Chain A
Amino acid sequence: MMKSSIILFIIYFIIWTLLGFSFDLQHILIGIMVALFVVFLTGDLFTLRPSHFGRVTRYLWFCYYVPVFIWECIKANVDVALRVNPKLPINPGIVKVKTVLRSDTALTFLANSITLTPGTLCVDINPREGILYIHWIDVKSEDTEKATQLIVKRFEKILKRIFE
């Protein structure tokens, strides 16, 4: 609990410093006071396992995850822009995929990644059994295993190393 509050305080203070971007004494003092107050309000909501913040390999995998994510995002945009053409068929549907991730942060990042990649949109999550319902603009297979292979596997390996 104490470690989680300290990590949250550091994050709030960094965001305050970047937003203000002036390094006087009074700005920094006010920033410390505001960050302490907000930590007092929301201290135990942030993370359950603060020991994960100390591993360096997680940050390295996160640095690997960002370019992959940006590349998939650009592909998604070109894909949607091509669908303005009426000859390109769309056959939408909601499919079901399974994942092995269980923690809340990993599931949130997985849903965000799926939403910003080509042709897929996360509609609902069942976090206890790891089931995601995904609206797919061009359904290639209705089978759960094959859809999992096509949609989730790209990010699951990286996110498992970052957040689990």
Chain B
Amino acid sequence: MKIKCLSWCLGVTIISAVLLFITFYPLPSLLKWQSPFLSRCFFILMVCFAMGLVRLFLGPTAADRAIAIDTLGILIVGFCAILSVPTGRDWYIDIAIAWALQSFIGALAIAKYLEGRGFDE
């Protein structure tokens, strides 16, 4: 119980430190965007992405890795939606739609493989 509380406090400290660093430190902007706020949103989504990658490496079973990949696919849709605002290019939304459908079909294929059925049943 004590170890659990300790690891929880450690996790909260690390995550809030990273979030405060992103929010208040004057980060260099990635591209020639005029909006530093949306650049910071981009970095926060990168933190989410890193957590998904941790579960992808640690996951004890195949289903853990499958759900991590599904989560990463949905997060990429968020990336495209945020990127389309400051750059003003609408075709990022097209990429978002295509990526959502492709991620769904990939998740279904992995699930069928986990059930032990063939791909044409």
A145 to B8, CA, bound (A): 38
Separation of A164 and B8 alpha carbons in the complex (Å)? 48
Q: How many chain A residues touch B (Cβ–Cβ < 8 Å)? A: 2
A86 interface contact, C-beta 8 A: yes
For residue B97, which residues in chain A have a CB less than 8 angstroms away from its CB?
A: 19
Residues on the A chain within 8 Å of B8, using CB? 86
Number of residue pairs spanning A and B whose beta carbons lie under 8 angstroms apart: 4
A128–chain B nearest beta-carbon distance, Å:
19
A19 CA to B96 CA, complexed, in Å: 13
User: Within B1-31, which residues are at the interface with A (CB < 8 Å)?
Assistant: 4-5, 8
Chain A residue with Cβ nearest B4: A86
Within 8 A of B (CB), among A44-93: 86
Alpha-carbon distance A127/B16, docked complex (angstroms): 46
Specify which chain B residues have a CB less than 8 angstroms from the CB of A86 in the assembled complex: 4-5, 8
| B113 CB to nearest chain A CB (Å) | 17
B11 CB → nearest A CB, Å: 9
Mark contacts of A1-24 with chain B using CB atoms, 8 A cut-off: 1 yes-contact digit, 0 otherwise: 000000000000000000100000
- With the chains together, A86 CA to B4 CA distance in Å? 8
Q: How far is the CB of B49 from chain A (nearest CB, A)?
A: 19
Q: What residues of chain B lie closer than 8 Å to A19, measured between beta carbons?
A: 97
Q: Which residues of A contact B4 (CB under 8 A)?
A: 86
Q: Give CA–CA (A86, B1) in the complex, Å.
A: 10
Nearest-CB distance from A77 to chain B (Å)? 14
Query: Considering the complex, which residues of chain A in the window 13-46 have a beta carbon less than 8 Å from any beta carbon of chain B?
Result: 19
- Chain A neighbourhood of B5, CB < 8 A: 86
Whose C-beta in chain A lies nearest to the C-beta of B11?
A84
Q: Which chain B residue shows the least CB distance to A19?
A: B97
Name A's B-contacting residues (CB within 8 A). Answer: 19, 86
Counting from the closest, the 4 A-B pairs by CB-CB distance are: A86-B8, A86-B4, A86-B5, A19-B97
4 sampled A-B residue pairs with Cβ under 8 A: A19-B97, A86-B4, A86-B5, A86-B8
